[in-house]
Amino acid sequence: MPIATPEQYRNMLDAAQKGNYAYPAINVSSMVTANAALKGFADKKSDGIIQVSTGAGKFASGLGVGNMVEGAVSLADHVQRMAARYDVLIALHTDHCPPKNVDDFLIPLIEESERRVADGQLPLFNSHMVDASNLPLKDNLDLCVPLYERMAKIGQMIEVEAGVVGGEEDGAAGSEDTPEEHLYTTPEDMVEVYRRMKDIDGVYMFAATFGNVHGHYKPGAVKLEPTILRDGQEAIKKEYGDDALFHLVFHGGSGSPQEQIRETLDYGVIKMNVDTDCQYAFSRSIADHCFRKYDEIMMVDGGIGNKKTGYDPRVYLKGAEQSMADRVGVACDDLQSSGKSIA
């Protein structure tokens, strides 16, 4: 099917919220990784979200161009074309745009979507994340609210974050030395986010933090407190009535225990970012190929190697694509979105 329309995207999020499941949000940086994400969703009959960061956009444009906007547009166009060959709904999203890149990454992409909508087409991306969580909350929302107002006019969603996700992920706001108290969003901050966003005629997603950290970490090194999400949802209902509700996002999901992933679904998480685990699955397959086929890849001791089964990139990239697609499938199972496409 084609990429989800704004209405279909809203229906996806509502279905997940009502059905207590969430969509894996898979970061891609190339046609191969995009194809892996699409195949993984389709294999599990799950709708899903494919996302592009500033770093991925720059990488996708190649060393000779190095332009994050051009690369993001190219990846989005590729996903738009390939998604039409599958029977699940896919939403396109940009991930972790920091304040410093709003003008040179986010705004050009919004402008591209505005041009497309004016021509009777869908927006290029369904949604964008502004990661201003390293700013005071007022400054964060002063930046995000006008962007949300603009995006809502063409049917786009925004994702905002309050509280800092630890670790580092492609320029994300967190760092290894993030103070522990900043890793947990307070109910008061969640109420303020809702207050500032509630009067805009649109849909948004909110990444509240509950101790989550980007990347892999050793057991016991991270203290997840999913009940923070529950308490925040209850706080906005108490303030604004039973219809008040966040579409919540879980960042730094790779390596999290399944029981805690499932617990967050009870509190309104409808999207979980899965990047590190997919990167590992992709690279692990290539490493395996290199170890097993070393003498075919390298021209050892005057040999000629083996182009067909050794060093032709298509050989090992096919394996990497399948390995990453399989990991996307695991995420669908973990988040209980498998078999629940609304397409």
Burial class of residue 215 in the structure, from the number of CB atoms within 10 Å of its CB (0-12 exposed, 13-18 middle, 19+ buried): middle
Contact 80, 2 (CB under 8 A): yes
Tokens representing 12? 């996806």
Q: How far is CA 87 from the centre of its chain?
A: 21
Query: How many angstroms separate the CA atoms of 209 and 343, rounded?
Result: 31
Is-contact 135 93, C-beta < 8 A? no
Residue 31 tokens, joined: 């046609």
Taking the alpha carbons of 120, 52, 212, 133 in that order, is the dihedral positive or negative? negative
Instruction: Please say if 95 is a catalytic residue.
Output: yes
Q: Which of 14, 43, 47, 95 is catalytic?
A: 95
Tell whether the torsion through CA atoms of 24, 30, 33 and 36 is positive or negative: positive
The DSSP code for 5 is P
d(CA 133, CA 135): 5
Which residues neighbour 74 within 8 Å (Cβ) at sequence distance 6 or greater?
60, 61
List, in sequence order, every beta strand (DSSP E) within the chain.
Answer: 23-27, 48-53, 90-97, 127-130, 157-162, 204-208, 248-250, 269-274
Handedness of CA 322, 328, 331, 337 (dihedral sign): negative
Q: How many CA within 13 A on the CB side of residue 74?
A: 19
Residue 76 CB partners (closer than 8 Å, separation 6+): 52, 92, 124, 125
- Which residues form the catalytic set? 95
